[in-house]
Structure 1
Amino acid sequence: MIGFIGSVFSPWYAWSGRGQPDNHCCINVATYGKDGRFAMTDRGRTALRQSRDCLQVGPSSLRWADGRLEIDIDEVSSLPLISRMRGQITLTPSAVTGIELPLTPGGEHVWRPVAPIADISVNLEAQGWQFEGHGYFDSNFGTRPLEHDFNTWTWARYPTATGATCFYDVKRRDGSVLETAINFLPDGQARHVSGPPATPFRRTLWALRRNTRADPGTTPKQVKPMLDAPFYSRSVVETQIDAQTVQGVHEALDLRRYANPILKPMLAVRVPRRARWRF
């Protein structure tokens, strides 16, 4: 799930000129597998409440309490499976980092891995949507539209025997690149590592190019599809890093495709606009 103030993938926010991010906020929730659902309702500023420890957008909220992130979900999924998505998610970090990584030289876009290693408990009101496991929590900030500064990027987070490793590989519009590999320890310590080379693997159903890091002579593979859109892919990928076979969440994003105005009406089907909300 993702909390947005200025919903970067909302067609309504793009059509508005992106001048009022607080008037285009949402809590995006997605479940996967059989009977998976997707909710991403673009809400107006009357639905937004913020405090030091809480972000609330309409009926859903994220709140820090006793060292944990408590998330209350109350959303309605979009087409093709319209239904209520309701319940709680609790994320307990092993540590909270203070690390930030600028994605552009001028700092117009910043990634902050808040809790790269965490435990999660999921309890949603639907059969099979209750489980516990390892989790991850990060944040992104930006002052410009993504498609103004980037062509493509891939991101991945892989749990390892000693913690977790994240890869961020970015191709900017000016021709420059960012290739970052960071290893995180359970106590919050982080260090840049060289990482194996970026290695292409099978394209998505929308023919989106993908790559991730892999030891020479090995090829990554998708083991679970999660979200497949014309410009974006999220999946569980298996790869080999430093002779260790790992599985983690992988994302690929093509901002050149996203910039195509034809996509915006398609997105509006999946991202409804609800401008008015009263608490």
Structure 2
Amino acid sequence: MVPPGGYLWWYLDALSDDGQYGLTIIAFVGSVFSPYYAWARRGGATTNPDNFCALNVALYSRHARRWTMTERGAAHNHRDRTEFRIGPSQLRWNGDSLVIDIDEVGVPLPRRVRGRIQVHPMQLFSFSTPLDASGRHRWGPLAPQARVEVDLSLPEQRWRGQAYLDSNEGDEPIERAFTEWDWSRSLMADGSTAVLYDLEPTRPDARLLALRFGTDGEVTPFEAPPQKTLPRTAWRLARRLRSDGPVTVHEQLEDTPFYQRAALRHSLLGETVTCFHETLHVPRLVSPIVQAMLPWRMPRRT
């Protein structure tokens, strides 16, 4: 159960075997990006996280980019041990794989996203670790190595590739514990996944996670390379990545005032890898100006 004011999300990213397609999907309970959830907390209203759920779908390709994040109230959602329904879309665990049926409308252009995505874990993990000193915020990968099957009718695309699935949860609003973080995941040559989680990277109380998730189910810490400063985004968002050598931006996937996502090329553990990388800047997220802008990208259905 997610406590009032808290949050839970499941995050999936995937890249096609031919490198032509990519996606990210985030299923939110108590959406940390929701201006409606933030306004409810500030106004003293009931802040049941199940009343602020959303399915964020982002598709990346040369031919079709889509972005959806319609938030829905409790009357439109249902969640139990194996199923999470958010309006007309749902996520379902069938015992072997995660099945995601999507029926959403994009913003700001109202283009529909419809179809099925199946995620087949190669190894399931029950690993979880605190992200803050008090342990009120936690993270852990569920399937750091997985295969994905994408079958969409709108926009029409069918492909297979490699995927990554994890989860974050918190017992309080995210702004009470963090100001910023940089996160990345890299698929290594032996099939393992290396994750770097730089929390508060510019402060004395910085916390760093450098973990390798093996195909045998083992979790192994490794010595993180030096921190490299990346070029600021178009929104002038500062970002960093730990790398043994130069870092190049292979593709900028998302660029907002408070959050960026990119595919980067860099050196890690003696290999040249492509990683999914994200930066979150919480003070920008909770600023009144940004909160007033967010409904344009995150409409709500009550």
TM-score by length of 1: 0.93
Counterpart contact for 1:27–1:40, Cα < 8 Å: yes
Cα distance in 1 between the residues matched to 2:40 and 2:201: 25
1:212 aligns to 2:241 (yes or no): yes
Distance 1:127 1:144, change over 3 A: closer
Alignment of 1:27-106 (within 5 A): 27-34=55-62, 35-79=64-108, 81-106=109-134
Counterpart among 155, 170, 192 of residue 199 in structure 2: 170
Question: What is the identity percentage for the equivalent residue pairs of Structure 1 and Structure 2?
Answer: 38
Deviation digits for residues 56-92 of structure 1, max 9, x if unmatched? 111111111131001000011110x211110011101
Counterpart contact for 2:183–2:195, Cα < 8 Å: yes
Cα distance in 2 between the residues matched to 1:97 and 1:214: 26
Which residue of structure 2 aligns with residue 115 of structure 1?
Answer: 143
Distance 1:98 1:256, change over 3 A: same
Counterpart among 52, 64, 68 of residue 24 in structure 1: 52
Which residue of structure 2 aligns with residue 12 of structure 1?
Answer: 36
Counterpart contact for 1:200–1:219, Cα < 8 Å: no
- Per mean C-alpha deviation after superposition, the further-off stretch among 142-151 and 231-240 is 142-151
Listed as ranges, the gaps of 5+ residues in structure 2 are: 1-24
Q: Aligned with 2:200: secondary structure?
A: strand
Alignment of 1:202-241 (within 5 A): 202-215=231-244, 218-241=245-268
RMSD: 1.6
Listed as ranges, the gaps of 5+ residues in structure 1 are: none
Shift of 1:206: 0.7
Cα distance in 2 between the residues matched to 1:148 and 1:105: 12
Counterpart contact for 1:7–1:25, Cα < 8 Å: yes
Q: Aligned with 1:16: secondary structure?
A: helix
Cα distance in 2 between the residues matched to 1:99 and 1:107: 14
Number of residue pairs matched by the alignment: 272
Counterpart contact for 1:120–1:134, Cα < 8 Å: yes
Cα distance in 2 between the residues matched to 1:12 and 1:187: 42
TM-score by length of 2: 0.87
Which residue of structure 1 aligns with residue 228 of structure 2?
Answer: 199
